[in-house]
Structure 1
Amino acid sequence: MAIASTRLMWLKGLYVVVFCLSALLLVGTAQAAIEVQSFNDPQLTERYQNLSQQLRCPMCQNESIAASNSPISADIRERVANMLRDGASDETIKQTMVQRFGDYVLYKPRLEARTWLLWGLPIGLVALGGVIVAAFVVCRRRYTEEILSGNERQRLEELMSHHASADTPSRDDS
């Protein structure tokens, strides 16, 4: 009993140590992504942060260059900072990055002939869904609005009267 208790305490301690080491590794990784770019102008700092959030890492899956640890993101961040210091506009910086890495680098792609499907598909799917729902409602109304023929009405009344007489107990049964 004492050996099992000691072994259990040792395993719990081992789990705590493994957890703490994992947490330290994650903190180190998170801090590696923090890159300090210094600007004399607070407006440049704000523009740099906005651009870093608007540009996507070409190597990572759906991560901005601000959040990515990849070397290519570090290079892009450095290029963006240098272009801002040289006085380039945000649109010029985006255009330069699109020329270098393609439209994928932008989180919000531009509306062009090549991207009409990307922009139009959600609207088209919503419209198609509306048409399907409308067709379903119209068909459903047609089925509920049909009037019974004379024969069907007579058969229904016979069935209902037969059912009603079967439900009422006779005086002999009570």
Structure 2
Amino acid sequence: MSRVAKKPIALPKGVELNIQADSVAVKGPKGTLTIAKPAGVEIKIEDGQAVLSAADPARIAITGTIRAIVANMVKGVSEGFERKLELVGVGYRASMQGKDLNLSLGYSHPIVFPAPEGITIATPSQTEVVVQGADKQRVGEVAAKIRGFRPPEPYKGKGVKYSDETIIRKEAKKA
């Protein structure tokens, strides 16, 4: 069996794991997340931990994947996920207008990005954007969309980058 699937998932206080025949729901202080449960994967709750097993030997690989997804759901509804972005460039700035993110990224027009349902966007400073939420996949997707408005370029490093991202610089053209 998969090494990942063998590890049990610890359920912190205040987190409920609800297992139906075709879906798995995790409820906690930061919200509720649901996924479809594939056939051939069994989930049981033992001693405050969720244990996954493959009912069918051909479903071992998907069991590890489902275990990782459920573990991320448990972490998301208890602690949440966040992704930090930095704006690098002269005149590049971000601000919040209600639930909309207003970005000035050197274009002739400002970019207005509405925050999706279940995602919180904050701007601690004019050059920082923090995306938070319970669903790891959606937090990463929203951060990638914001980064996609002006990805960092390799010559000066200008653009929207993740805070932990390093931009590999290219040397300028020689005359």
TM-score (norm 2): 0.23
The structure with the greater share of residues assigned to strand is 2
TM-score (norm 1): 0.23
The structure with the greater share of residues assigned to helix is 1
Higher gyration radius (CA): 1
Higher relative contact order (CA 8 A, sep 6+): 2
